[in-house]
Structure 1
Amino acid sequence: MNSVTAIIADDEPLLRFHLDKMLAETWPELTIVEACENGESALEAIKVLQPNVVFLDIQMPGMSGVDVANQLVALEKKNQLTAPLIVFVTAFDQYAISAFEANAIDYVLKPVQEERLLETCQRVKQRLASSDTDGTMQTLMAKIEHLSVGGTTNYTKWIKATKHDEIHILAVDDIVYAKAEDKYITLIASVEGGYQEYILRSSIKELIRQLDPDRFWQIHRSTLINVERLDKVKKDITGKMYVYIADNKLPVSRAMQSLFR
């Protein structure tokens, strides 16, 4: 096989560094041509450098890994590039991982384990060595779309978030609302009779994909609420609408007011 090139895309510098080091050990012949900190820079690097493989974090602020993959599909359909093989670096729960495996879509679960990375690299090598690579991106994205809009049994039940230096596993049922702030999401969860704040490194768009839309409504560009936890909805004298939830008053954008009619 000729020299194989790859791009790493992850918004966390430490994860980019460790993945680079682990790939050097598990696949010494692989050349990392770029390490990108977000989806936008990853997409541009892929266009210019045309790597064989991309190790792509799903959850990045701004343009997510899924957004990047969608863009690559569109460019490939226009014959503007040959899309690389994608290895998703993901914190998705077990249902998504099983779906990826069933459809021969490569993934690495965070935190990255050397044994799993070695197995994934072997899969990628076999795919690259095969002449049957046509439609790889279309097949991959068809499955991602299924995960994004699939039935209620496909929605995640647990969210990994941090509080100070600790990692917490939150039941989705306990999440009251989520508010995007810069590169993070603040989750308000009901815990032991009160409310606690947790931090999730994700975009609001990516979080929406994982949650049941019948239960979690986006009331503003940056705000998502669990309607089962809603106390009341009121309009002020100017016609501006607010929801009252978890002892907080949150604005509803005009575009989203129709949800409550």
Structure 2
Amino acid sequence: MTTALLADDEPHLLAYLEEQLATAWPALKIVGRAPNGVEALRLIDELGPDVVFLDIQMPGLNGLQLASRLSAGGKAGKTAPQVVFTTAHEQYALQAFDSEAFDYLLKPIRLERLQRTVARLKESLAAPAAAPSPSPEAAAQLAAMLRQLGVPVPAAPAAAPAASAAPLQWIRAAQGQETRLIAVDEVIYFQSNDKYTSVFTPDAEHLIRTPLRQLREQLDEQKFWQIHRGVIVAARHVAGTRTDFRGRLLVKLKGRPEELVVSRNFADLFRQM
């Protein structure tokens, strides 16, 4: 049975998160609740939960400080829990991923978003444990986010050839006057849009400055298919295809009403559908 600990200094938000988790993950056992970071650290050491949901702004020891202590190591032989941050403030996102957080949920936490996190947590926890080592994936994700924000990233020291960088996991996108951090798993498709790239999720369209060509190099090609010079679609959100009266191949989507045109150069992707 998977166990979790919840930490938040606002009781009503703690209760709300527990209610959402009861819906999104009924089998999850909540083994502890903490009103501050110091108590959370004590309970994590005592109870050894698989997952901790941490508010970032807490008295005594904030969520980022607590996560840093967890990643530094706890009891011998004890695997550090997966950390999911919960906060109302986006400005902590980069620090959160520098702490190798599993996910970053903005309050108020939407059930659909939490369900996606739960699905990824289940997959991660079910995977065989890897030998302890630094996380190049986290460094690659952080570097990609910094480049997207226009922040220079120092080149890594010369070393022996290594595996290619981990696929992009997070996107920082504009939505009106606000900026939103989007998990790549939320994206249904990307589309070139003049000097920008439109990012379509089930409930909105967002804009990023990264060109589609550059974005393609950062995406997992097994999960994201280019179907047109200006369109990349998430394979898991493809519901099917059809041919219109003009003979064009169209992709039907899960979660959005529009249909996307497939150019002839990419039609082979759908021969078996």
Scaled by the length of structure 1, what TM-score is found? 0.48
Greater RCO, CA 8 A, separation 6+: 1
Which is helix-richer, 1 or 2? Answer: 1
Scaled by the length of structure 2, what TM-score is found? 0.46
